[in-house]
Amino acid sequence: MHPIRRINTIFVYVRDLAAAKRFYGETLGFGKPEIDGRFWVEFKLPDGDTHFALHQSESHGHADHAHGTIMLSFEVTDIHKFAAQLKENGVKFHYEPRKEYGFWLAEFEDMEGNVLRLYQKLHTHERTV
Protein backbone atom coordinates (compact mmCIF):
# COMPACT_ATOMS: atom_id res chain seq x y z
CA MET A 1 0.00 0.00 0.00
CA HIS A 2 1.35 3.42 -0.95
CA PRO A 3 1.82 5.72 2.09
CA ILE A 4 -0.04 8.65 0.47
CA ARG A 5 -3.79 8.08 0.40
CA ARG A 6 -5.03 11.31 -1.24
CA ILE A 7 -4.66 15.08 -1.37
CA ASN A 8 -6.25 16.23 1.86
CA THR A 9 -5.99 20.02 1.61
CA ILE A 10 -4.90 22.55 -0.97
CA PHE A 11 -3.62 25.76 0.69
CA VAL A 12 -3.37 29.17 -0.95
CA TYR A 13 -1.47 31.89 0.94
CA VAL A 14 -3.04 35.31 0.41
CA ARG A 15 -2.49 38.92 1.49
CA ASP A 16 -6.19 39.85 1.79
CA LEU A 17 -7.99 36.98 3.49
CA ALA A 18 -11.43 38.67 3.46
CA ALA A 19 -11.26 39.36 -0.29
CA ALA A 20 -10.02 35.84 -1.01
CA LYS A 21 -12.82 34.39 1.12
CA ARG A 22 -15.40 36.33 -0.92
CA PHE A 23 -13.79 35.31 -4.22
CA TYR A 24 -13.59 31.59 -3.46
CA GLY A 25 -16.79 31.41 -1.41
CA GLU A 26 -19.04 33.52 -3.63
CA THR A 27 -17.46 33.98 -7.05
CA LEU A 28 -16.20 30.40 -7.41
CA GLY A 29 -19.19 29.05 -5.48
CA PHE A 30 -17.40 27.18 -2.68
CA GLY A 31 -20.10 28.49 -0.32
CA LYS A 32 -19.75 29.06 3.40
CA PRO A 33 -16.39 28.07 4.91
CA GLU A 34 -16.26 25.08 7.24
CA ILE A 35 -13.57 26.91 9.26
CA ASP A 36 -13.61 30.70 9.35
CA GLY A 37 -10.80 32.02 11.52
CA ARG A 38 -8.71 35.13 11.82
CA PHE A 39 -5.78 33.76 9.77
CA TRP A 40 -7.39 30.69 8.22
CA VAL A 41 -10.48 29.93 6.10
CA GLU A 42 -11.24 26.40 4.96
CA PHE A 43 -13.86 25.17 2.51
CA LYS A 44 -14.90 21.54 2.11
CA LEU A 45 -15.11 20.73 -1.59
CA PRO A 46 -18.06 18.83 -3.09
CA ASP A 47 -16.26 15.46 -3.10
CA GLY A 48 -16.63 15.56 0.70
CA ASP A 49 -12.99 14.68 1.36
CA THR A 50 -10.85 17.41 -0.15
CA HIS A 51 -10.44 20.77 1.58
CA PHE A 52 -9.42 24.11 0.10
CA ALA A 53 -7.80 26.47 2.59
CA LEU A 54 -6.93 30.15 2.46
CA HIS A 55 -4.19 31.22 4.84
CA GLN A 56 -3.07 34.75 5.69
CA SER A 57 0.50 34.88 4.35
CA GLU A 58 1.81 37.10 7.16
CA SER A 59 0.25 35.15 10.05
CA HIS A 60 2.31 34.01 13.01
CA GLY A 61 3.47 30.55 13.97
CA HIS A 62 4.20 29.03 10.56
CA ALA A 63 7.02 28.84 8.07
CA ASP A 64 7.54 31.97 6.02
CA HIS A 65 5.03 31.43 3.21
CA ALA A 66 5.01 34.00 0.44
CA HIS A 67 1.90 35.59 -1.01
CA GLY A 68 0.68 33.50 -3.93
CA THR A 69 2.20 30.28 -2.63
CA ILE A 70 0.17 27.11 -2.96
CA MET A 71 0.82 24.21 -0.60
CA LEU A 72 -0.54 20.68 -0.80
CA SER A 73 -1.38 18.47 2.17
CA PHE A 74 -1.24 14.72 1.61
CA GLU A 75 -3.16 12.33 3.85
CA VAL A 76 -0.94 9.40 4.79
CA THR A 77 -1.45 6.08 6.52
CA ASP A 78 1.57 6.25 8.87
CA ILE A 79 2.99 9.77 9.20
CA HIS A 80 5.91 8.80 11.44
CA LYS A 81 7.10 5.99 9.17
CA PHE A 82 6.74 8.01 5.97
CA ALA A 83 8.44 11.09 7.47
CA ALA A 84 11.36 8.87 8.53
CA GLN A 85 11.64 7.51 4.97
CA LEU A 86 11.64 11.04 3.57
CA LYS A 87 14.34 12.16 6.02
CA GLU A 88 16.48 9.15 5.02
CA ASN A 89 16.24 10.50 1.46
CA GLY A 90 17.47 13.95 2.51
CA VAL A 91 14.13 15.78 2.65
CA LYS A 92 14.32 19.05 4.61
CA PHE A 93 11.50 19.36 7.17
CA HIS A 94 10.12 22.63 8.53
CA TYR A 95 8.73 20.48 11.35
CA GLU A 96 8.52 16.75 11.92
CA PRO A 97 5.27 14.99 12.88
CA ARG A 98 3.49 16.76 15.69
CA LYS A 99 -0.07 17.08 16.95
CA GLU A 100 -1.54 20.34 15.72
CA TYR A 101 -5.17 21.38 15.15
CA GLY A 102 -6.27 17.92 16.34
CA PHE A 103 -4.26 16.00 13.71
CA TRP A 104 -0.74 14.76 13.11
CA LEU A 105 1.03 17.18 10.76
CA ALA A 106 4.52 17.44 9.30
CA GLU A 107 5.76 20.08 6.88
CA PHE A 108 8.67 19.83 4.47
CA GLU A 109 10.05 21.13 1.17
CA ASP A 110 10.50 19.54 -2.21
CA MET A 111 13.71 20.07 -4.20
CA GLU A 112 12.40 23.45 -5.51
CA GLY A 113 11.51 24.77 -2.04
CA ASN A 114 7.76 24.22 -2.45
CA VAL A 115 6.04 23.48 0.85
CA LEU A 116 4.29 20.14 1.26
CA ARG A 117 2.46 18.81 4.30
CA LEU A 118 1.70 15.34 5.58
CA TYR A 119 -1.60 14.86 7.43
CA GLN A 120 -2.89 11.94 9.47
CA LYS A 121 -6.07 11.76 11.52
CA LEU A 122 -5.54 11.07 15.20
CA HIS A 123 -6.44 7.60 16.36
CA THR A 124 -9.18 7.43 19.00
CA HIS A 125 -6.69 6.75 21.83
CA GLU A 126 -4.56 9.78 20.79
CA ARG A 127 -7.45 12.24 21.08
CA THR A 128 -7.58 12.01 24.84
CA VAL A 129 -3.82 12.12 25.45
66-111: pLDDT as tens digits: 655 778 889 998 999 999 999 999 898 999 999 987 899 999 887 6
Q: How high is the pLDDT of residue 102?
A: 85
Choose among 27, 129, 9, 11: nearest CA to 63: 11
Domains located in the chain, CATH noted: 4-127 (3.10.180.10)
C-alpha to C-alpha distance for 4 and 116, rounded to whole angstroms? 12
Q: Is the dihedral of CA 123, 60, 112, 114 positive or negative?
A: positive
Q: What is the pTM of this model?
A: 0.68
Give me the percent of the chain exceeding a pLDDT of 70: 86
| pLDDT value at 41 more than 50 | yes
Q: What is the largest CA-CA distance in the chain?
A: 44
Question: Which residues make Cβ contacts (< 8 Å) with residue 70, sequence separation at least 6?
Answer: 10, 11, 12, 13
